[in-house]
Chains A and B, each alone.
Chain A
Amino acid sequence: MRETISSCMEYYPEMEQINSDIMSKVLAMSGTVNFDSYTQSDVQSVLSKDFLSPEDFTVLLSPAAEQYVEPMIIRAKTETFKHFGNSVCLFTPIYIANYCENQCVYCGFNCMNKIKRAKLSLDEIETDMQNIAQTGLKEILILTGEARNASGVEYIGDAIKIAKKYFLNIGIEIYPLNSDEYNYLHSCGADFVSVYQETYIPDIYDKVHPFGHKRSYPYRFNAQERALMGGMRGVSFGSLLGLGEFRKDSFSAGYHAYLIQKKYPHAEISFSFPRIRPYVNKEFSNSGDVFEMQLLQLMLAFRIFMPYAGITISTRERDFFRNNIVGIAATKISAGVSVGVGGHASDTKGDEQFEISDPRSVQEIHHMLLSEGLQPVYNDYVRV
């Protein structure tokens, strides 16, 4: 790779630059929002509205709304039920490689970390996928570390083609691509793209991404839009909670998705809420803590602001939180999760990205959902 870009707001030469004003809109609005300026009466006004504006969303994310978590739960449950009924989708991630070329100071896959690196062969991918398919899952999320040289687009395309034999619904969570590359992976069988901005605050982004392709903030920011331009059906948004100021980062992720939905009304939108968990190298970063109550408030605010969006609950959270949030705001839950490479085979080949908090199997999650009065759904999409 060439020299590292000096500012995180630059692109590397091979990166596609699209015509979009969404990033400047998000930066402009998130730069002016003051979460401490709201009062309880602002929260009450917002909760009595049928449709929320982006500014209303900031009110629900504010400290003033912490007192309104109960009414927010009631509203969120109603919205979730209105749009999704009692269905909750199940899926699992599959890590096919953990090589990474970036030095994100908060991440266990940081290329400077001394961890066991691996990249599954196509045969190993097939074995892993067969094992997952036997659990009954129909949706899979294929992940790699962010290293184009180690895990090229063609390799990921091959993994998708294998996944197509076993699964009906294929998502990817890989390094950002140009739109023609997304188009290629779509033609291989992938329909959903997750890219997390980690933090939307450029100063912090700059500090925690000192090196590698990931250092380019705008290229990462516009990944969802390029994915949609490439024909993908749905895109997922989120920030790594605890890295930057979590209210501002959450607002930015929500507003980003809001503007994408406005520009691409056919796109399926979803959110994830990863909190920083213990990982190799954590002591070297200075991340803040986001408590469960705050995480809950964020998820409720998103549900009320964008009631039609999917919300995925990560295994980074413990079973108690996951069991409760599925009836309230979350519409998708991972099950039978391993975040190591080859973790669905008997011998894991590469180390894990982070520690999971909910190791329950697909069967266990399935029964938990039933006992909560919810309907496990294994596929809600048909590719035509």
Chain B
Amino acid sequence: MDKLKLGKYSFDSRFILGSGKFSLKMMETVIEHGGVEIATLAVRRANTGKDENILDYIPNGITLLPNTSGARNAQEAVRIAKLARELGCGDMVKVEVVTDTKYLLPDNYETIKATELLAKEGFTVLPYMYPDLIAAREMVNAGASAIMPLGAPIGSNKGLLTKEFIQILVNEIDLPVIVDAGIGKPSQACEAMELGADAVMANTAIATAGNIAQMAKAFKSAIEAGRNAYLAGFGRVLDLQGEASSPLTGFLEGLK
């Protein structure tokens, strides 16, 4: 069976749902239509009291992926992750360290440090990152269980603007690569999966759709299609023709 393995956990679904932009009452519908098994949770935003507690809206069998959004450095990310674990959200955590409030781009340097600290504490760490190979290698060395490169600025719905760089990560990094942020359409999610990403995370694309449930379903299909295409292996593309080979003839004919 084709499982998504994140540290000691494994999943059938490769569609990870970001939850920060929904009304809580929509969660269950989206999860059901999207075939979702993992949903993120912004710890800073989670109501933990009696009213509107997000945990009450998450169906059974769904794995929560708390994130450390709001953290501005590694130490803050570690504290938020520990808080999430105490709240009963488990030990899998998406590390998010953002030191730029304008573009909300992740700080790879602090993220590497947070990854190392949390991995040592026994967390299954999924760092959200700018797709940089050198930083990704450091995250692998720091003990990450997957890497989560962004496809485009978060919330932009612009798609795979960093495609070439994500391809490099897919080629070079042995951990699962989860494309996070920027995916705006099912076709873009499919493209990410086709190029070899292991999962896609989306939030805004669904939250801002006309029909949220239907869009969740469309993402589910697209991610599965891309995954299947990747596993099947692509056929040839005929673009090798059309160059005169005559300059080679002398060489090839002269070989012994």
Contact = CB atoms under 8 A, between A and B. Distances in A.
Interface string B60-104: 000000000000000000000000000000000000000000000
Contact of A75 (B233, B240, B252, B254): B240
Interface stretch (B5-13, B117-125, B243-251): B243-251
Contacts of B167: 50-51
B251 A324 contact: yes
Given A74-B245, A262-B172, A293 B240 contact: no
Which bracket fits the contact residues of A? 20 to 34
A374 interface: no
A74 B244 CA distance: 10
Nearest to B233: A45
A324 B252 CA distance: 10
A24 interface: no
Contacts of A71: 240
Contact of A292 (B171, B234, B255): B255
Interface in A36-68: 41, 44-45, 47-51
Interface in B209-255: 233-240, 243, 245, 248, 251-252, 254-255
A234 to B, nearest CB: 19
Given A70-B245, A262-B172, A48 B252 contact: no
A265 B137 contact: yes
Contacts of A47: 236, 240
A73 B240 contact: no
Contacts of A320: 254
Interface string B168-181: 00011000000000
Given A45-B233, A48-B236, A262-B172, A74 B243 contact: yes
A70 B248 contact: yes
A291 B255 CA distance: 8
A293 B255 contact: yes
Contacts of B252: 69-70, 293
Contact of B256 (A44, A48, A51, A292): A292
Given A70-B245, A265-B137, A45 B234 contact: yes
A320 B245 CA distance: 18
A296 interface: yes
A265 B245 CA distance: 36
Given A293-B255, A320-B254, A45 B245 contact: no
A155 interface: no
B243 to A, nearest CB: 5
Contact of A321 (B235, B238, B240, B255): B255
Given A70-B248, A292-B255, A45 B235 contact: yes
Interface in A1-59: 41, 44-45, 47-51
A41 B236 CA distance: 7
Interface string A315-342: 0000011001000000000000000000
Contact of A296 (B171, B172, B238, B255): B255
Nearest to A44: B236
Contact of A73 (B235, B238, B248): B248
A342 B167 CA distance: 50
B240 A74 contact: yes
A48 B255 contact: no
A51 B234 CA distance: 13
B119 to A, nearest CB: 20
Contact of B240 (A48, A69, A265): A48
Contacts of B243: 74
Interface string A71-87: 10111000000000000
A44 B237 CA distance: 8
Interface in B170-217: 171-172
Contacts of A44: 236, 238, 240
A262 B233 CA distance: 23
B141 to A, nearest CB: 11
Contacts of B237: 48
Interface string A328-371: 00000000000000000000000000000000000000000000
22 contacts: A41-B235, A41-B236, A44-B240, A45-B233, A45-B235, A47-B240, A48-B236, A48-B239, A48-B240, A49-B234, A50-B167, A51-B167, A51-B171, A70-B245, A73-B245, A291-B255, A291-B256, A292-B255, A293-B252, A293-B255, A296-B255, A324-B251
Given A48-B237, A48-B238, A50-B167, 9 more contacts: A45-B233, A45-B234, A47-B236, A70-B248, A70-B252, A71-B240, A293-B255, A321-B255, A324-B251
Interface of B: 137, 167, 171-172, 233-240, 243, 245, 248, 251-252, 254-256
Interface of A: 41, 44-45, 47-51, 69-71, 73-75, 262, 265, 291-293, 296, 320-321, 324
Top 8 A-B pairs, shortest CB-CB distance:
A44-B236, A48-B237, A292-B255, A324-B251, A45-B236, A71-B240, A293-B255, A48-B236
